[in-house]
């Protein structure tokens, strides 16, 4: 009997404690006062941030389901990852990482911004970095193989010099900003691209103009633009040198 009474007293005290905690948690003490957004949210814009800030004045921090909110925000194609942290008593920290623009995708005269996985996530007017290569791909398979080719180019100087990439039959063509054409295949590795760019830079430093560099064979082949063609380009105003 004594044990039963002790159990009832314990149960009553536990109920009072839980109810007290519930009442305390419902007080304004835990109302969200500050929402801090961190990270690179260049592409997320005002609408995503506004969705987060809407909870500031009418939500209790205790009852916010951070996992559900992270999942909701991650559904936006512009968002790569979201991490939400509660800081008691009244602050919510939201870390948002936006998708990084990797290149433009051109399909039937329409341009899209894609990430390194080939996912469309923005319009051209939503990004500040306009110096991106253009991928010409009419279907998903061509896009995937072109991305494989570009993934081998690790040199940032090389990558930033790329103007366009396209598939030609079973090979690929990389057009640089100065008009130099690089012929390649999907099996060319990073080391060969590094050697290609070193060769290209050495020729440019010698004021030589390159028509194309061919990486499709064991040895790197190249063709310089002839003097007559170079002079004609200068007279036409495309190259003042």
Is 22 inside any structural domain?
A: no
Is 24 inside any structural domain?
A: no
**Strand 120-122 with 221-224, pairing:** unpaired
Tens digits of residue pLDDT in 49-73 = 777 777 665 678 888 889 998 998 8
* Residue 96 preceded by cis peptide, ω within 30: no
pLDDT at 24: 52
pLDDT at 144: 97
Structure tokens at 186: 């999907």
Tens digits of residue pLDDT in 20-43 = 555 555 556 677 778 888 887 666
Structure tokens at 156: 């940032």
* Of 145 and 238, more confident: 145
Outline where the chain has alpha helix (H).
2-25, 45-53, 66-74, 140-151, 156-160, 190-205, 227-235
Cα 100-102-106 angle, rounded to 5 deg: 130
| 130 shares its domain with 72 | no
| 122 shares its domain with 145 | yes
Consecutive H or E run containing 35: strand 34-38
Is 120 inside any structural domain?
A: yes
What range does the domain containing 126 cover?
Answer: 103-235
Is 137 inside any structural domain?
A: yes
Is 60 inside any structural domain?
A: yes
* Of 6 and 117, more confident: 117
Consecutive H or E run containing 114: strand 110-114
Structure tokens at 173: 């063509």
Contact in structure between 205 and 237 (CB atoms under 8 Å): no
State if pTM tops 0.75. no
pLDDT over threshold 50, residue 233: no
| 86 shares its domain with 152 | no
Which domain-ending residue is among 62, 77, 98? Answer: 98
| 148 shares its domain with 173 | yes
Cα distance between residue 141 and residue 107, in whole Å: 13
Cα distance between residue 146 and residue 90, in whole Å: 48
| 83 shares its domain with 118 | no
- Tokens 């005290």 belong to which residue? 13
pLDDT at 225: 80
- CATH no. for residue 39? 3.10.20.310
| 154 shares its domain with 188 | yes
Side-chain-facing half-sphere of 112: CA atoms under 13 Å: 17
Give the other-Cβ count within 10 Å of 234's Cβ.
12
Minimum mean pLDDT range among 78-82, 102-106, 146-150: 78-82
Side-chain-facing half-sphere of 119: CA atoms under 13 Å: 10
Tens digits of residue pLDDT in 110-142 = 889 999 999 998 878 777 777 899 999 989 999
Q: Structural domain tally of the chain?
A: 2
pLDDT at 173: 98
């Amino acid at each position: 009997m004594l044990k039963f009474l002790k159990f009832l007293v314990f149960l009553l005290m536990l109920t009072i404690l839980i109810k007290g905690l519930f009442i305390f948690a419902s007080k304004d003490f835990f109302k969200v006062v500050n929402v801090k957004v961190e990270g690179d949210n260049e592409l997320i814009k005002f609408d995503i941030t506004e969705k987060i800030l809407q909870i500031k004045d009418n939500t209790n921090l205790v009852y916010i389901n951070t996992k559900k909110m992270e999942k909701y925000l991650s559904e936006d194609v512009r968002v790569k990852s979201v991490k939400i942290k509660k800081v008691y008593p009244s602050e919510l920290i939201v870390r948002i990482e936006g998708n990084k623009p990797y290149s433009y995708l051109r399909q039937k005269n329409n341009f899209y911004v894609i990430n390194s996985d080939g996912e469309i996530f923005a319009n051209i007017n939503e990004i500040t970095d306009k110096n991106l290569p253009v991928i010409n791909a009419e279907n998903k398979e061509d896009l995937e193989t072109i991305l494989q080719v570009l993934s081998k180019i690790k040199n940032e100087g090389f990558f930033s010099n790329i103007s366009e990439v396209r598939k030609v039959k079973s090979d690929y063509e990389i057009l640089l900003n100065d008009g130099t054409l690089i012929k390649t295949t999907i099996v060319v590795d990073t080391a060969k691209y590094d050697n290609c760019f070193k060769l290209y830079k050495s020729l440019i430093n010698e004021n030589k103009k390159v028509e194309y560099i061919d990486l499709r064979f064991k040895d790197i082949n190249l063709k310089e633009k002839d003097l007559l063609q170079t002079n004609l380009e200068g007279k036409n105003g495309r190259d003042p040198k």
